[in-house]
Structure 1
Amino acid sequence: MSSPSWGPNWNLDGIVSGLRAARVDWRGPHGRLRETSAGREFPSQDSLRQIVAQLRGALFPMRLGPIELREESEDFYVGHTLGDALDSLLRQTYLELRHLGRQEPRSYDETMAHAVQIVRQFGAELPALRRALDLDVTAAYQGDPAARSVDEVLLCYPGVTAMIHHRLANVLYRLGAPMLARIVAEIAHAETGIDIHPGATIGKSFFIDHGTGVVIGETAIIGDRVRLYQMVTLGAKRFPPGQNGELKKGLPRHPIIEDDVVIYAGATILGRVVIGKGSTIGGNVWLTRDVAPGSNVTQASLVSDLPGCGLEGS
């Protein structure tokens, strides 16, 4: 079918020119003017999404790998898939390192050698990461009476999906690729509604039940065998400014949750507070101070046992 003879005029030349001017106006003050031959500057979300899909398949080949896979070819699939994933991750890591070093550029060889080091160490951590995820899957199965099998948990539970992404992202974060880590985390956030910063430290056998609306901040520290329900926030209470008024980065500002804690739906815990081992935090509780080990905190107990805690910061 031929195009209409009247031919709509979108004024593309004008739009393209205007967009170019907007880019130049932004890049100049931000120190981003560069040669057009420099190529792509940042890692690709699409590439990271594919890499994570490959890594998930390599970690759990018979459940998250291709439907036609058979056990006799499991190792071949894992090796081939990991090779592709790590090769692709190397390119993305190089892009991030080049961007991070833009103020003091290093040679291609130096930057690539650093990227190879990161990706090699990332790959070496995958067996331990798989074992950690096995504990998370088991915790989800044992912690939910509706779960019929560990396979159902792995295939269906958003909390487990979020933890696969988080444990991958946390390795990248620790190895010095924070942007890649954040992209991996945000892919899970978009897919599950669970927002875990890749910098958060999470112990063994962690379970998020239901999951929607859970937020875990960058400097949160979570112990072993902790269970969270939906809409739980482990956030910051305040954000101190620096000398020029900008927010200070990297300060410890999120809660420490000790071992064997259960936090029910809708609870909000803010600031660098410690929730003691074995405590239970009830639904919709608002906490901004420490809780002793073995405590059972409800909305009613905040008024009688922790005066002022229920109102502070509200």
Structure 2
Amino acid sequence: MSTLVKEQQEIDVIVKDILADFDGRKNIDAVDIFNKPDKREVQELVKNLFKIVYPGYFRDKSFKIYNPSNSYAVIIEDTFYHMNKQVFLALDFCKKRGTMTEDDRRKESYRICKAFFGRIPKIREYIESDLLAAYDGDPAAGCFEEIILAYPGLIASTVYRIAHELYVEQVPVLPRMMTELAHSKTGIDIHPGATIDKNFFIDHGTGIVIGETAIIGKNVKIYQGVTIGALSTRGGQKLSGKKRHPTICDNVTIYAGASILGGNTIIGENAVIGGNTFITSSINPNTIVSMKNLEMEYRTSENTIATEELHQSEEWYYII
């Protein structure tokens, strides 16, 4: 027997053994790939929803149009069709709804999409408020166009506001797929279950984490590296549905690197949370929280060590 024939037989055995392991008994088995939400289609869905939310900013300029309204009508109808398809597939995974027949899923997916598209004006109203908050809150912002086209915080909050409406309708899988697309692009991780009011501004953004049960009020400003998270997830699925993440009241500013943890933690109105602080209990309204007496260490080539104590003022919170 030639070496080539022997190797082919050995490879055939390997392939056969691996295929036999695709027995459907493992949670990672999904051989029926046409009955699952498609990552690429979800990505395209988000792109088209941006065209609807920001008309004119993200349209395809490779072809000419004489009637923009006709073009938008086509985009809206096409996006409705594709969202309906993905919601239909996602509903097969919804534990809360129980087992659904194919006809029930089809009716429910249409109802959800109809409700979602009916709320697009509300979604756009909230996104407009986020845009204004970014412009008012960032002296580096040159114009609205710069924020829409270049600011990762607005990208992440826009995807969140889209995904949140599907989360409210108890659509499984799909909202999280959407926010994870934004997470991979911006480094900002907002769970679609979080509740975030108007005028929300993320500055810089990288490394921000906002958990599922977080509640954030109006006019909140968050800098890079902030975590609004849970104290512990050791309870696993037993904690599902419980309030695990903090409540941030209106007009709060949270500076870079701060961690605010726990479902019972409430940050009162007008509070300022300084950089690198670690908070696990509630903060009263109108309070400024900052790290005290930081110490810098300097080493010379002769291994001489010098230290300098840094004192924070109310205006010094690790802003970049």
SS of aligned partner of 2:182: helix
Counterparts of 1:117-136 in structure 2 under 5 Å? 117-136=111-130
Q: Which letter does structure 2 place at the counterpart of 1:250? A: G
Q: Which letter does structure 2 place at the counterpart of 1:232? A: V
Q: TM-score, normalised by structure 1?
A: 0.84
Work out which of the residue numbers 248, 256, 270 in structure 1 matches 2:261. 270
Quote the residue 1:212 is aligned against: 206
Unaligned runs of 5+ in 1: 1-5, 302-314
Shift of 1:64: 1.8
SS of aligned partner of 1:269: strand
SS of aligned partner of 2:142: coil
Work out which of the residue numbers 242, 249, 256 in structure 2 matches 1:258. 249
Instruction: Judging by fraction of residues, say which structure has more helix.
Output: 1
Decide which moves more: 55-64 or 140-149: 55-64
Q: Which has the larger radius of gyration?
A: 2
Work out which of the residue numbers 89, 107, 117 in structure 2 matches 1:113. 107
Work out which of the residue numbers 173, 182, 186 in structure 1 matches 2:167. 173
Decide which moves more: 106-115 or 215-224: 106-115
Work out which of the residue numbers 266, 271, 274 in structure 2 matches 1:279. 271
SS of aligned partner of 1:61: coil
SS of aligned partner of 2:275: coil
Counterparts of 1:290-301 in structure 2 under 5 Å? 290-300=282-292
User: For residues 90 and 12 of structure 1, what CA distance do their matches in structure 2 show?
Assistant: 42
Q: TM-score, normalised by structure 2?
A: 0.83
Shift of 1:85: 1.1
Unaligned runs of 5+ in 2: 294-320
Do the aligned partners of 1:58 and 1:77 also contact (CA within 8 Å) in 2?
no
User: For residues 101 and 120 of structure 1, what CA distance do their matches in structure 2 show?
Assistant: 22
Work out which of the residue numbers 185, 190, 195 in structure 2 matches 1:196. 190
Q: Which letter does structure 2 place at the counterpart of 1:248? A: L
Aligned-residue RMSD, C-alpha? 2.6
Counterparts of 1:144-163 in structure 2 under 5 Å? 144-163=138-157
Do the aligned partners of 2:65 and 2:71 also contact (CA within 8 Å) in 1?
no
Residue identity (%): 36
Q: Over residues 73-125 of structure 1, what are the superposed CA-to-partner deviations in whole Å (9 max), with x where a residue is unaligned? A: 33222211111111011111111112326995332211100110001101111
Shift of 1:58: 1.4
Shift of 1:63: 1.2
Quote the residue 2:17 is aligned against: 18
Q: Which letter does structure 2 place at the counterpart of 1:18? A: D
Q: Which letter does structure 1 place at the counterpart of 2:128? A: D
Q: Over residues 134-171 of structure 1, what are the superposed CA-to-partner deviations in whole Å (9 max), with x where a residue is unaligned? A: 11011111111010001100000000000110000000
Do the aligned partners of 1:61 and 1:74 also contact (CA within 8 Å) in 2?
no
SS of aligned partner of 1:142: helix
SS of aligned partner of 1:299: coil
Q: Which letter does structure 2 place at the counterpart of 1:298? A: S
